[in-house]
Amino acid sequence: MCDSGAAPFPEEPAGSREFLEFRRKVCESEMLSAAMERLLHAIHFSGRLSIVVQNGQVLKSGYEEGYFCRRKDRPLLS
C-alpha cells in the first residue's frame, strides 16, 4: 500500500501534491503531532487510536486501551 518508490501520475490534477504529501505522512507514520507522541510515550499507552474524517474535518475520534503489563514469567506478545 505504501510504496515510496511510486512515480507520480503523468498528469497531476489539482490537489495531487497535497494528496501525495498526505500519503507520505501516513506511510511514514507521521500522523500525530510531536506533543501527542510525547504524551503517549509518557503514559506508556499501548492500544489503538482512530479518527473518522469527512471532507477534511474530524467527525469522531477514539481509542481502545491496551495497557499491557509485562510479567517476568510471560512474554509481552503470545
DSSP 10-71: SS--TTHHHHHHHHHHHHTT--S-HHHHHHHHHTT--EEEEEEEETTEEEEEEEEE--PPPP
Q: Which residues pair with 60 in a beta bridge?
A: 52
Can you give the pTM of this predicted structure? 0.57
pLDDT value of residue 58: 92
Instruction: Render pLDDT for 13-64 as a digit per residue (tens, 0 to 9).
Output: 667 899 999 999 999 989 889 999 999 999 988 888 999 999 999 999 998 8
Are the C-beta atoms of 52 and 61 separated by less than 8 Å?
A: yes
